[in-house]
Structure 1
Amino acid sequence: MTSPNRYTSRGHAGLRFLAQRGLMKPFIWSLTSVQVYGRENMDDLQPPYIVVANHASHLDAPLVMGSLPTKQARYLATNAAADYFSGIRWQLTRLFFNAFPVDRTGVRGRNRITKDLLDAGIPLLLFPEGTRSMSGEMGAFKPGAAALSIGQGVPCLPVAIAGAYDAMPKGANWVKKGRPPVTINIGRPMSAEPDEDAVAFSERLAKEVRALTDEAMERRERADRARGKID
């Protein structure tokens, strides 16, 4: 069983701050051209909460963590597949992403870990599609994040990631040259309506992330047009 103690540790948080803000963010931002919108939507948001985002690239987690205000990202934890990360790779993943292991052969362990972390006040970053998109198009959201939100009584924060698939699609070993544009669009916190079940709430979250993605693309096009990059 994963203990929440490491995830709430100030010492670990300090090391993670150096890893994320001193190494990871400058590195990722040097490879891509990142624009972030909607940080003000987190001004009154207090942990714990669940960040839900679309997923199409290995860039997604570092982009989201680097885009959130430092205070909000300090203890943010995300899941990582236990069958994919091991050894030194797992140690680095845990350091940079405050990651907790998930056994993709089942969901029992994940549910227990995520509930314990939320109970300890740790915000989570989850990708409800369950895996990276093969095409860049957002897939259906599985209801697990919505069910967790309802069961634990915590809000969800919808976040759209636009451009990460073009920058580094699934199967690519490195980011494309030329600092490809990526836009992060942070929405307003959302909670389930009275009598709204996990499936319905999950569908509403997915609809909001799609809308935020469309808005992000429009903002990027307007910015590029203003700089004369497109006609």
Structure 2
Amino acid sequence: MSTPANDPGRRLIRSLSERSRGEGWEAPEGDLAKYRSRWRSALRFVLQRGVFRLVVRSAITPSTVVHRRVKTVRGPFVLVANHSSHTDAPMLAQGLPWAQARFLSTGVAADYFFRVWYRRFFVRALFNAFPIDRDGSRKNSGFSRRLLRSGVPILVFPEGGRQQTGRMADFKPGGAALAISVGVPVIPAAMVGAHEAMPKGRSWPVPGRPPVGVVFGEPMLAEEGESAVAFMGRIRERVQALYDENYETILGRPLPGDEESA
């Protein structure tokens, strides 16, 4: 016998697929509809996992680790990752299982990517991108929340910019606040080796096809009454743990600092 949708007992269900279906989402309308377009997702599959994957593999040696519960997520979610280089967004989009990645939307600077038609076409075709205001105009304020409510998962880099030194910065709580307000899970992900392969200031990875890995961890849900700051603190700890635990396997050398303690 199935549990009624309005039964309080549903709150105790910890299955991420059940949670997402239980919350539900609105049918996208107007400009939002393109973010769940099937023909656009088919084009993105060809570009991301065909053409662009060949470009990525020509420059770096990629690897992917995916926690088994990632595949149980249905519907919208917030993908949260550390931000090391321009390789991050394509690696995350390519590494996530397609059932979860097909509508994944990445926020990009509106003033740079959305004002010129060919840049707008490129980021929409490749990353299902949505605009983020950097000029204080708030023209696109609330767009990421509307996407989640329309069934579109989003990618968030909570450090606010690429790492300067390779060390993970503090995470801003906006992504956690979105997940809490809409009632969706967070998938934590760690980019490993991206800073070493393509530090800030370079327009192309260093020679020799350096190793770069993306690790998707077990999806997370906010606890009852947990604040966005506290939830993002837990998410950052998980991303840092994923990074530390997989560093040596992916890069073939000990994590800096471990050599001294060995």
Residue 94 of structure 1 is matched in structure 2 by 124
Q: Aligned to 1:25, what secondary structure does the other structure show?
A: helix
Using the alignment, how far apart are the partners of 1:9 and 1:143 within structure 2? 30
CA contact (8 A) 1:39 1:68 kept: no
Deviation (angstroms), 1:26: 2.0
1:53 correspondence with 2:53: no
Residue 13 of structure 1 is matched in structure 2 by 41
Deviation (angstroms), 1:221: 5.2
Calculate percent identity across the aligned residue pairs: 44
The amino acid that maps onto 2:64 is V
Residue 23 of structure 2 is matched in structure 1 by none
| Equivalent residue for 2:151, pick from 105, 108, 121 | 121
Residue 74 of structure 1 is matched in structure 2 by 102
| Equivalent residue for 2:201, pick from 167, 171, 179 | 171
Using the alignment, how far apart are the partners of 1:21 and 1:156 within structure 2? 23
Deviation (angstroms), 1:110: 4.9
Deviation (angstroms), 1:214: 0.5
| Shift in CA distance, 149/111, structure 1 to aligned 2, threshold 3 Å | farther
| TM-score, length-scaled by structure 1 | 0.91
1:130 correspondence with 2:178: no
| Equivalent residue for 1:207, pick from 237, 240, 246 | 237
Using the alignment, how far apart are the partners of 1:112 and 1:221 within structure 2? 39
CA contact (8 A) 2:78 2:179 kept: yes
CA contact (8 A) 1:39 1:69 kept: no
Q: Which structure has the bigger radius of gyration?
A: 2
Using the alignment, how far apart are the partners of 1:29 and 1:63 within structure 2? 10
CA contact (8 A) 2:71 2:100 kept: no
Using the alignment, how far apart are the partners of 1:89 and 1:123 within structure 2? 22
Deviation (angstroms), 1:90: 2.3
Q: Which runs of at least 4 in structure 1 moved beyond 3 Å after TM superposition? A: 106-111
Using the alignment, how far apart are the partners of 2:137 and 2:235 within structure 1? 21
RMSD of aligned C-alpha atoms? Answer: 1.9
Contiguous gaps of at least 5 residues in structure 1: 226-231
Using the alignment, how far apart are the partners of 2:140 and 2:217 within structure 1? 26
Deviation (angstroms), 1:161: 0.3
| TM-score, length-scaled by structure 2 | 0.81
Report the count of equivalent residues: 224
Q: Aligned to 2:240, what secondary structure does the other structure show?
A: helix
Contiguous gaps of at least 5 residues in structure 2: 1-29, 255-262
| Shift in CA distance, 137/107, structure 1 to aligned 2, threshold 3 Å | farther
| Equivalent residue for 2:68, pick from 23, 40, 55 | 40
Using the alignment, how far apart are the partners of 2:207 and 2:62 within structure 1? 14
Deviation (angstroms), 1:59: 0.6
